[in-house]
Amino acid sequence: MSKLRGVQLLALFSLICFTQAQQDDRTVAADIVFLVDTSWSIGQENFQNVREFLFRVIKAFDIGENRFRFGLVQYSEKPQAEFHLNTYFTKQDILFHIWNMSYKGGGTKTGL
């Protein structure tokens, strides 16, 4: 359970670090990129927990070209962009991709 909490905190920290918000009187827009560790050290069960966490976070936002945009990169031995900020402009498309995203596995190379 503490490993999962650490994963969620890392995801939240990543969310904060990669958010660039613009705000005026009526709208808020942000580009948010998630960096997801999918190495063997995470494991299939925790990967599912991360996927569910991402699903809950993204459901809370108003998605659109001039609103919140999301990107996602998986990393283990080699980073792989799952989708870019300009790939999806509907919540349904983003959630569908995340729900069907496969667990890659591989060595943990966070320092390279």
CB atoms within 10 A of CB 66: 9
Mean pLDDT by 10 residues, the chain (112 residues): 53 49 60 92 92 93 90 90 95 96 82 58
Tell me the one-letter amino acid at 32. I
Q: CA triplet 39, 40, 45: central angle to 5 degrees?
A: 100
Residue 107 has a pLDDT of: 83
Is the pTM above the cut of 0.85? no
pLDDT digits (tens, 9 = 90+) for 1-25: 455 555 555 555 555 544 444 444 4
